[in-house]
Chains A and B, each alone.
Chain A
Amino acid sequence: MRVLMVEDEPRLAENVARSLRENAGYAVDTASDGQEGLFLAETNAYDVMLLDLMLPKLDGMELLRRIRQSGQHTPVLVLTARDDKESVVALLNAGADDYLTKPFDLGELLARTKALIRRGKGQPSPVVVIGDLELNTVNRTVQRGGRAITLTAMEYRVLEYLAHRPRAVVSKTELLEHLYDYNWEKFSNVIEVYISGLRRKLNEGSSRQLIRTLRGQGYMLQD
């Protein structure tokens, strides 16, 4: 999963990004002003955006409106210092999906971010079940047929992304875009490595292939 964090306070952006990387394994891009945030949002595919309201150059509210006007569905979590009803109503009406008031709890931020990603992908439960495969997004564990499977962080991230889009063809570029931050291109060759590693671990003691490769198109997770 890939997250965009637009926040002009560098220390806060850094802390949030670190927490998301370490605890959820997300790729995080940060922007320190509204214009940069808008540029990144328009040029990259994000699974969720974290947006501060008081931003230099382009106000957070305006940024939100422009993103929604351009037809982006990416869930947006607004980080705001104001918690009065009017401003909350205004930001939800401008297209935000959720909000957190400063100072917030990093654990709560993480949980809300995960929930927004799930909802954005039409996946209501934090435990994704595909056939006999069970993926718990809260504590990041994977089971198949009741057997726990140990994955590397990167393998888990690939599987998590595929699990959130079951039975859909996911291209290699899409995977790269959603698993790495802005310099994803240099990782283009490693996806195959992760996919083969995943296949090997998932298929232990099972004959049915979960991850299909569609030549020239991408990958598909199916039961």
Chain B
Amino acid sequence: MRRDSIQRRLIATVVLSQAILTLGLMVTGVVVTYSRLLATLDAGMQAHAMSVAVLVRYTEDATGNVYFDNSLLPESVDPNHPDQFKIWADRTGAVARSEDWPDGLQLQPSPNQHWNFTWAGVPYHALQMSHVPILDREEGKAFRPQTLTIVYASPTIHMRQQVKAAAAFIALVSLLLLGVTAWLALWGIRRGLSPLQALAQQAAQVSTHSWQLQPPKEAEEIEELRPLTESMTQMLARLERSFVQQREFLGNAAHELKTPVAVLKSTLQSLLQRSRSSEEYRTGLQASLQDLDRLEQLLQWMLRLARAEQWAHDARRRELDVIDINSTCEEAVERIRSLAQSRNTAIHLATDGPVPFRADPEDLQLAWMNLLENAVRYSPEGASVEVAVTHDDQSAKVIFQDHGTGIAATDLPHIFERFYRGDPSRTRATGGSGLGLAITKALVEAYGGNITAESVPGKGTRMTVEFPALKQ
């Protein structure tokens, strides 16, 4: 798997943007320098052209012809690449051209004011000036004055060199700056990412013995890290809760299993402590079998709870059919009937029409049966238990009301905890495992419902299960 690095990505971004900036600077620098130099060159050439133009004079006669006074021609600045020029007069035609005007170079008046050309490998910039008056104008002469057209060209080698030098300088400085900013970016990013490392180190300290994540101060101060640290803390809290629950369950389960195992062991040991009659062995073995039955039942309840809690996690992922809550209640009442009859207890089921819900009917039946069993067991002989199913647009409710012994206020908050028994003797006498309500709660919550208990000691208990209404 290719590993991406935030650091590398950020640095690449910084360097890339810096490089684009550098390039832009260079181009701008070159263009600006070039146009400035060109403007300067143009001005110089104009001046030069004028200084050449003043050397054109009228002849002494009255023809109005002109000639070029070569003697006063200024020296070229660069003897190796001299300026070139050519002058035309209106009537006389070509009047003059630069001294070393090479053969073959045709400087033609062009409609353009400025243009570039290359001749003999030398780049030139050319300038044309038209209608330039001849300065040597003598008063009283009776001819029509002529005007001049001047084409003046200067080699641009120097200018190009200057532009290149400027570009090189800008590039050099930019590269230096690029290096500095890249280094700064690296430093800044490392520094910026260091809280993440500190956080990772802290997270590595979390174990099943120490769930506390202590986000380092530097990480807490970073706004971008807050969602991460918060969700980590929450996740750890959830994990701890479920871990502690599991461990408690394991501890409770071991504790609960110890007593029936102790009974079984003592029965068998006392049977073996001396030789006994076959009748005594038979009685002892039957007692052992009963002890085993109890153990088995307890194990079954534990497995049921484990399954219910597992389903609480998977329920939403399963594909479920729509069922009628009423029919699950009817089924549960039917299944509990023999117990109810043995205690002479009547169960009344009241409904207000079908209540559609998406669930596994077996789950709901088990939940109802646990509640009904409790209601029947803790009711006096001949009492009644009422079950009511109601629903509206928002929710569906199943209410179990008994008229039994009730639950003490101190026990009420704990009755859904696993293995919680308000009064051990009572539960033992009635055969409860301390898991029924925990299983019911897990099943109800698996389908997004909740269960609440209200009780008046001596009067009875009301269990209310509420499910969200089925979404169409």
* Chain A residues packing against B (C-beta within 8 Å): 8-9, 11-12, 15-16, 18-19, 22-23, 32-33, 54-57, 79, 81-82, 101-107
Asked whether, in the complex, the Cβ of B263 is within 8 Å of the Cβ of A15, the reply is yes
B262 touches which of A12, A22, A55 (Cβ 8 Å): A12
Is the C-beta of B146 less than 8 angstroms from some C-beta in chain A? no
CA distance A56 to B425 in the complex (A): 6
- Measured between beta carbons, the chain A residues less than 8 angstroms from B425 are 8, 32-33, 56-57
Is the C-beta of B319 less than 8 angstroms from some C-beta in chain A? no
Asked whether, in the complex, the Cβ of B270 is within 8 Å of the Cβ of A103, the reply is no
For residue B243, give the distance in angstroms from its CB to the closest CB of chain A: 18
Asked whether, in the complex, the Cβ of A102 is within 8 Å of the Cβ of B269, the reply is no
Is the C-beta of B273 less than 8 angstroms from some C-beta in chain A? yes
Asked whether, in the complex, the Cβ of A8 is within 8 Å of the Cβ of B424, the reply is yes
A104 touches which of B262, B267, B424 (Cβ 8 Å): B262
Asked whether, in the complex, the Cβ of B263 is within 8 Å of the Cβ of A107, the reply is no
> Chain A interface: which of B253-261, B386-394, B395-403, B459-467?
B253-261
CA distance A19 to B267 in the complex (A): 10
Is the C-beta of B300 less than 8 angstroms from some C-beta in chain A? no
Asked whether, in the complex, the Cβ of B266 is within 8 Å of the Cβ of A81, the reply is no
Known contacts A22-B273, A56-B423; is A11 also within 8 Å of B267 by CB? Answer: yes
Is the C-beta of B428 less than 8 angstroms from some C-beta in chain A? yes
Majority secondary structure, B binding face: helix
- Measured between beta carbons, the chain A residues less than 8 angstroms from B255 are 81-82
Could you say which of B255, B263, B428 has the most chain A C-beta atoms within 10 Å of its C-beta? B263
Q: Can you name 20 A-B residue pairings with CB atoms under 8 Å?
A: A9-B259, A9-B263, A9-B428, A11-B290, A12-B259, A12-B263, A12-B266, A15-B267, A16-B266, A22-B273, A23-B273, A55-B424, A57-B425, A81-B258, A102-B262, A103-B258, A103-B261, A103-B262, A103-B265, A106-B266
Could you say which of A11, A22, A23, A101 has the most chain B C-beta atoms within 10 Å of its C-beta? A11
CA distance A107 to B268 in the complex (A): 12
Is the C-beta of B38 less than 8 angstroms from some C-beta in chain A? no
For residue B76, give the distance in angstroms from its CB to the closest CB of chain A: 109
Known contacts A16-B266, A18-B270; is A81 also within 8 Å of B259 by CB? Answer: yes
- Measured between beta carbons, the chain B residues less than 8 angstroms from A16 are 266
Asked whether, in the complex, the Cβ of A102 is within 8 Å of the Cβ of B273, the reply is no
Write the chain A residue with the least CB distance to B288: A11
- Measured between beta carbons, the chain B residues less than 8 angstroms from A8 are 424-425, 428
Known contacts A8-B424, A9-B259, A81-B255; is A15 also within 8 Å of B266 by CB? Answer: yes
- Measured between beta carbons, the chain A residues less than 8 angstroms from B270 are 15, 18-19, 22, 106
For residue B9, give the distance in angstroms from its CB to the closest CB of chain A: 53
For residue A37, give the distance in angstroms from its CB to the closest CB of chain B: 13
Is the C-beta of B274 less than 8 angstroms from some C-beta in chain A? yes
- Measured between beta carbons, the chain B residues less than 8 angstroms from A56 are 423-426
CA distance A54 to B267 in the complex (A): 20
Is the C-beta of B291 less than 8 angstroms from some C-beta in chain A? yes
- Measured between beta carbons, the chain A residues less than 8 angstroms from B424 are 8, 54-56
Is the C-beta of B287 less than 8 angstroms from some C-beta in chain A? yes
- Measured between beta carbons, the chain B residues less than 8 angstroms from A101 are 258
Write the chain A residue with the least CB distance to B264: A103
CA distance A44 to B225 in the complex (A): 71
Known contacts A19-B270, A102-B258, A107-B269; is A11 also within 8 Å of B291 by CB? Answer: yes
Write the chain A residue with the least CB distance to B269: A106
CA distance A105 to B259 in the complex (A): 13
For residue B107, give the distance in angstroms from its CB to the closest CB of chain A: 111
